[in-house]
Structure 1
Amino acid sequence: MTRPRPTLLAGCLALSVACAAPVHAQAPAATPQPPAATNPLPTTTNPDPKNPAIPDIPVPAQAGAAPSATPPAAPRQTLVATPGDANDVDEVSLPAKPAAILAGRAKWEEAVPSLKAAFQRIEADLAKAGIQPVGRPIAVFAKTDDDGFQYDAMIPIAAMPDPKPAESDGLRFGTTPSGRALRFPHKGSYDEIDGTYETLTAYLDAKDVVVQDKFIEEYVTDLNDKADEKLDVNIYALPK
């Protein structure tokens, strides 16, 4: 087993007063009545804050108006919904999920930039095709040696396209690895992931567990920099 790393105002109201009476006997003036407004304010008129004589007129909401804010996208899900114990190994069952896949090879010192570029390429192609990604990025390490490794970068999607597209410039569609697996959590920089693999190997040896010659890394947090101390990774080993 080889360990990988992995937003008018218009109109004014007029008043008229009629005054007519003899000089020696002035009749009381009739109460003036305001004429009907010949240019009523439209219901969409807003009040003029500089003229308090004009009453406030409500502005009704327009029916069918689009919401001002776009709802946030749903968070990406991990392969197993229940989080693992940071200090323990747990046995889980991985479901086979449809995914966009891009194969690649990298040297160990170029692992993070290579994987990051692969995930960005997959995301861009999915956006162009109008396909919704739903899962966290995954790297499956297949063949490894002292110089580097071969990998399949995967991003789970909501559903397999129908018809299934042919492979295009290395990008293909398939499913994520599935079945019984041992999950080993890694919290810390990618530079320190070797220590987690050492713990993993020691555990397998102590339990006499034989696993497939491949490992799966699932990035619970974004893989941005190898020195990111807040990196959270699920490492899966698949027993034979």
Structure 2
Amino acid sequence: MTLLARTLAGCLALSIADAAAPALAQSPPPAATNPLPTTTNPDPKTPGTADIPVPAQAGAAPSAMPPAAGRDTLVATPGDANDVDEVSLPAKPAAILAGRAKWEEAVPSLKAAFQRIEADLAKAGIRPVGRPIAVFAKTDDDGFQYDAMIPIAAMPDPKPAETDGLRFGTTPSGKALRFPHKGSYDEIDGTYETLTAYLDAKDVVVQDRFIEEYVTDLNDKADEKLDVNIYALPK
């Protein structure tokens, strides 16, 4: 289990434990804490939650697709790399694809999920307008379960039925704490450790899910120019 796995699992386990207490009264769980003791390994037979392989057609994005670099983040104002921001997340219509991956395959799995969404939106003539988002909720020793999301201009009317795991819904909304991460994905565990320490120091109880918004493209886990917004949603 990687350091990122233990750190993210600790954050999620901490938020679940806080649901039974009025405030955080203890230090963050150690790195070896078992993740989400009430969570079992996601059933690969559950629709939309199977491992997502890199699609064969993902290598070439349709020419009509607007560049992801020109799309908006959930919150227009950039975060301060040295501070935590209190923000309000809007509920935006989005195309959503559920998946799961092993910890060491986090980046290629998420990248493949986003490529699949982009390709399906292009085929349907639906315009993506926001940065890619991953919502993490369940973890185990081997990996994690997530929802990959890409905000779109408007919800299709009528809303399409779920097709091969792809569905339409809205992004998480409400008050949130934004923790910017700038640097490689290999180093993102340090930002989660800062997040955990902040929640503990401020006695903040959060929902049992965390959101990563990729301000720059998620191409390689060693990319030092990666820019990610991590959101925690207080209860």
Q: Same fold (TM over 0.5)?
A: yes
**Cα shift readout 1:112-138 (whole Å, capped 9, x = no counterpart):** 000000000000000000000000000
Match of 2:15 in 1: 16
Native 8 Å contact 2:51 2:99 kept in 1: no
CA RMSD after TM alignment? 32.3
Native 8 Å contact 2:93 2:155 kept in 1: yes
Native 8 Å contact 1:102 1:154 kept in 2: yes
Please give the alpha-carbon distance, in whole angstroms, between the structure 2 residues aligned to 1:17 and 1:206: 17
Stretches of structure 2 lacking an aligned partner (at least 5 in a row): none
- % identical aligned pairs: 93
Q: Does 1:145 align with 2:140?
A: yes
Please give the alpha-carbon distance, in whole angstroms, between the structure 2 residues aligned to 1:183 and 1:15: 18
Match of 2:195 in 1: 200
**Cα shift readout 1:73-108 (whole Å, capped 9, x = no counterpart):** 981000000000000001000000000000000011
Give 4+ residue runs of structure 1 displaced > 6 Å after superposition: 7-21, 27-74
Native 8 Å contact 1:181 1:239 kept in 2: yes
**Cα shift readout 1:176-202 (whole Å, capped 9, x = no counterpart):** 000000000000000000000000000
**Alpha-carbon spacing, 1:39–1:210, altered in 2? closer, same or farther (3 Å):** closer
**Alpha-carbon spacing, 1:232–1:70, altered in 2? closer, same or farther (3 Å):** closer
The alpha-carbon deviation at position 144 of structure 1 amounts to: 1.3
Q: What number of residue pairs does the alignment pair up?
A: 229
**Alpha-carbon spacing, 1:110–1:164, altered in 2? closer, same or farther (3 Å):** same
**Alpha-carbon spacing, 1:198–1:68, altered in 2? closer, same or farther (3 Å):** closer
The alpha-carbon deviation at position 220 of structure 1 amounts to: 0.1
Native 8 Å contact 1:43 1:58 kept in 2: no
Native 8 Å contact 1:189 1:226 kept in 2: yes
**Alpha-carbon spacing, 1:164–1:86, altered in 2? closer, same or farther (3 Å):** same
**Alpha-carbon spacing, 1:184–1:129, altered in 2? closer, same or farther (3 Å):** same
Map 1:56-205 to 2 at 5 A: 75-205=70-200
**Alpha-carbon spacing, 1:164–1:37, altered in 2? closer, same or farther (3 Å):** closer
Larger-gyration structure (1/2): 1
The alpha-carbon deviation at position 36 of structure 1 amounts to: 96
The alpha-carbon deviation at position 139 of structure 1 amounts to: 0.1
Structure number with higher relative contact order (C-alpha < 8 Å, ≥ 6 residues apart) = 2
The alpha-carbon deviation at position 64 of structure 1 amounts to: 36
Stretches of structure 1 lacking an aligned partner (at least 5 in a row): 1-6, 22-26
Give the TM-score, by structure 1 length.
Answer: 0.70
Give the TM-score, by structure 2 length.
Answer: 0.71
| Residue among 217, 221, 225 paired with 1:226 | 221
Please give the alpha-carbon distance, in whole angstroms, between the structure 2 residues aligned to 1:146 and 1:46: 9
Native 8 Å contact 1:43 1:60 kept in 2: no
SS in 1 for 2:47: coil
Native 8 Å contact 1:182 1:236 kept in 2: yes
Native 8 Å contact 2:36 2:140 kept in 1: no
